[in-house]
Amino acid sequence: MNVWKDLESWKQRRQALGGRAVGFVPTMGALHAGHAALVERCRRENEAAVVSIFVNPTQFNDPKDLERYPRTLEEDLALLERLGADDVLTPAVETLYPQGYRFRVTTQGVEDVMEGKHRPGFFDGVLTVVLKLLQLVQPQRAYFGEKDYQQLRIVTEMVKEFFLPVDIVPCPTLREPSGLAQSSRNRLLSPEGRKKAAVLYEVLTSARDAQEARARLEGAGFAVDYVEEHWGRRFAAATLENVRLIDNVPLRDDHAALS
Instruction: Return the active site residues.
Output: 35
Q: How far apart are CA 20 and CA 139, in angstroms?
A: 9
Q: Judging by beta carbons within 10 Å of its beta carbon (0-12, 13-18, 19+), is residue 141 exposed, middle or buried? A: middle
Angle at alpha carbon of residue 131, lines to 126 and 134, rounded to 5°: 120
Greatest CA separation found in the chain?
57
What one-character DSSP code corresponds to residue 23? E
Phi/psi of residue 138, nearest 5 degrees: 50, 55
Decide if 151 contacts 115 (C-beta within 8 A): yes
Give me Rg for the CA atoms of the chain. 18
Q: How far is CA 107 from CA 3, 126, 128, in A?
A: 32, 11, 10
Question: Phi/psi class of residue 178: alpha, beta or left (left: φ > 0; alpha: ψ in -120 to 50)?
Answer: alpha
Angle at alpha carbon of residue 179, lines to 173 and 181, rounded to 5°: 40
Closest listed residue to residue 199, CA positions, set 184, 181, 211? 181
